[in-house]
Amino acid sequence: MPTLAEVRATLALAVPLVLVQLSQMSMSFVDVMMVGRLGTEALAAIVLGSTTFFTLALVCVGVLVAVQPTVAQAVGAGDEAAAGRGARQGLWLALILGVPFTVALGFAEPVLLATGQAPETAALAADYLGAIRWGFVPNLLFTALRGLCEGDARPRPVLAVTLIGVAANAALNYGLMFGAWGLPALGVVGTGWSSALTMTVMFVALAVYVRTGPLARFQVFAGLRRPDPEALGALFRLGWPIGVGFGLEAGLFTAATLLVGRLPDHEVALAAHQIALNAASVTFMVPLGIGMAGGIRVGQAAGAGDLDGAARAGWTATVLGAAFMVVSALVFWLRPDVVVWIYAGADPQAEVAALAATLLGIAAVFQLFDGVQASVAGALRGLKDTRAPMLIAAVSYWGVGLTVGGALGLAAGGGAPGLWWGLTLGLATAAVGLSLRFARQTRRLGPVAVAPLG
């Protein structure tokens, strides 16, 4: 059961982690907002290009999330060499994953055209991808070093670097999009270069901290000339299910949006769907950050062989994540008009406002389960348990959520609300399945389960 000391320790980690997630989300928001000034065609191109880039990056980032529990368990076990080795192999894995995608994104236009995109939009999106692709590898390298910092329970340097990135991205966007301060006016392509440069700055800044600050004791950059095949393979085996799980969740909401686009009143439905989905995405950052904090606490306790501590840390994070979602659910339920005003202004289209309010009422229920599943998933990563959660996610999101949502929304004529009830059922299934898995794993946790990488 949660204790006051555990709650304080979890929140101390969670607050900067939540702020990191919100800061990273704000970068995409700023990009879209600024590009909107360039016109509809430019906005369509950046939405298409950024969705392509960040979907691919999300899967690779998911693989590298394995660095965090690897370092956390090693730190808990007092094995600094294993912690440094895990982060070092994370850097190699970032290169192995990132270089092929960097090359492939340079040939994006034919692929975009094959998906039926308008030639003008595909060409502009491809130009954007041709610029931002140079940030793919630095973004993954940053993720590996972020895993080291967070695994050692030091999220504040990551937050500081991310805030620097937010400011740099906004300034570079303005300069490279509109030609300010003597820079070339590159329009949408300038946004791509801005993002790539920002990702590079963030990696370099965090690398300097890791090399010279308190984490220098892990000697991450020592012996970096060649990978360790055994440790690299162990890290990949731990991480690929996380990457697939991230892809399954992102793909679920992409597929749901495509299904909404097939409804008879699709223009109204899509607008209302986006309002509810964006609002839910913002509040989701809180239990996601709490789940990460719980994963760090669980990993360090597991590495120290403290079964009770691992269980207590996981359930504390779950309770905190659910508690926050109760508060946000009440806002969605009682004052949907305020949420609609934030996204659509003071005078939204009546049909959109009414449907968005309905969807936000469903999202109030949706959020409770989403908060639980995010928090428990983080706790399971702290135990290095990734394959079973991936399977639970696949069955819950796609087998239950999308199947039931499609049946209720399209086949049964329930429209967007029917689809959202299906998604809610899918998240509820995931929350129950992951909670049962964590309960089982903390009862049977043994030496093999907590062995450090390599």
**Mind giving me the DSSP string for 269-291?**
HHHHHHHHHHHHHHHHHHHHHHH
d(CA 282, CA 450): 33
Distance CA 334, CA 350 (A): 18
d(CA 135, CA 367): 33
CB 426 within 8 A of CB 252: yes
DSSP state of 3: -
What count of other Cβ atoms lies within 10 Å of the Cβ of residue 79?
18
* 439-442-445-451 Cα dihedral, nearest 10 degrees: 120
Determine how many CB atoms are found less than 10 A away from the CB of residue 140: 27
What is the per-residue pLDDT for 89?
A: 95
What are the C-alpha distances in Å from 379 to residues 45, 258, 299, 301? 38, 32, 8, 11
Q: Residue 51 burial by CB count (10 A; 0-12/13-18/19+): exposed, middle or buried?
A: middle
Query: Look-up: residue for tokens 């900067």?
Result: 16
Sign of CA dihedral 81, 82, 83, 87: positive
pLDDT of res. 175: 92
Task: Please provide the distance, in angstroms rounded to a whole number, between the alpha carbons at the two ends of the chain.
Answer: 33
Task: Provide the pLDDT for residue 100.
Answer: 96
Distance CA 44, CA 376 (A): 36
- Tens-binned pLDDT, residue by residue, of the chain (454 aa): 567 889 999 999 999 999 999 998 888 778 877 877 777 778 778 878 888 888 899 999 999 999 999 999 999 999 999 999 999 999 999 999 999 999 999 998 898 888 777 788 889 889 999 999 999 999 999 999 999 999 999 999 999 999 999 999 999 999 998 888 888 888 889 999 999 999 999 999 999 999 999 999 999 998 787 888 898 999 999 999 999 998 888 888 878 877 877 777 767 787 788 788 888 888 989 999 999 999 999 999 998 888 889 999 999 999 999 999 999 999 989 888 888 887 766 666 778 888 888 999 999 998 899 999 999 999 999 999 999 999 999 999 999 999 999 999 888 888 889 999 999 999 999 999 999 999 999 886 554 344 444 3
Torsion of CA 343, 346, 348, 351, to 10 degrees: 110
